[in-house]
Amino acid sequence: MPPGRLAARRGRSVLVTDHACSVIVGYAASFPHQAQPGTPQELDVTRYLYSFLAAAVSKLSLAQRLADCRTLKAFVPALLALGAPSKTYARKVRKRLLLARKRLHIAITVSKHCPIQLPR
In a domain, 43, yes or no: yes
In a domain, 117, yes or no: no
Residue 89: CA atoms inside 13 Å, Cβ hemisphere, count? 16
Q: What is the mean pLDDT of residues 54-74?
A: 89
- Per the CB < 8 A criterion, the answer to whether 38 and 66 are in contact is no
Query: pLDDT at residue 42 above 90?
Result: no
What confidence tier does 71 reach under pLDDT thresholds 50, 70, 90? very high
In a domain, 40, yes or no: yes
If you ran DSSP here, which 8-state letter would residue 39 be given? Answer: S
Domain containing 91: what range?
A: 7-99
In a domain, 88, yes or no: yes
Dump pLDDT digits (tens) for 72-85. 999 999 888 888 88
In a domain, 14, yes or no: yes
Number of domains comprising the chain? 1
Query: pLDDT at residue 88 above 90?
Result: yes
Q: What is the mean pLDDT of residues 52-61?
A: 85
In a domain, 111, yes or no: no
In a domain, 114, yes or no: no
Q: What is the mean pLDDT of residues 24-39?
A: 75
